[in-house]
Amino acid sequence: MNWGQLVFAQITRHLPLTTFRRCVARYGGEHKVKSFSCLDQYICAWPLLS
C-alpha cells in the first residue's frame, strides 16, 4: 500500500503539466522527436534531480 504521494504527483507539484507543455511549445522542444518526448525525459530524469 502506498502511504506517500506518487512520483508523478510530486513532479506536477513542482511544475504543472500545463506550464511544462507551454515551455516545450515555446522553445520547440518536440521538434524532430520520434519516440521519446520531452515529458518522458523529464519524468525519467526526475529521480536524478531530487
pLDDT, residue 45, reads 81
Please tell me the distance from the alpha carbon of residue 33 to that of residue 35, in angstroms, as a whole number. 6
The answer, as to whether pTM is greater than 0.85, is no
Note the pLDDT tens digit of each residue in 36-46. Answer: 999 888 888 87
12-26 burial, b at 16+ Cβ within 10 Å, e below that, comes to eeeeeeeebeeebee
Summary count for the chain: helices (H), strands (E): 3, 0
Note the pLDDT tens digit of each residue in 2-15. Answer: 677 777 777 778 88
Q: Which set of grid coordinates corresponds to residue 37? A: 518526448
Please tell me the distance from the alpha carbon of residue 43 to that of residue 50, in angstroms, as a whole number. 12
Please tell me the distance from the alpha carbon of residue 43 to that of residue 17, in angstroms, as a whole number. 11
The pLDDT > 90 percentage for the chain reads 32
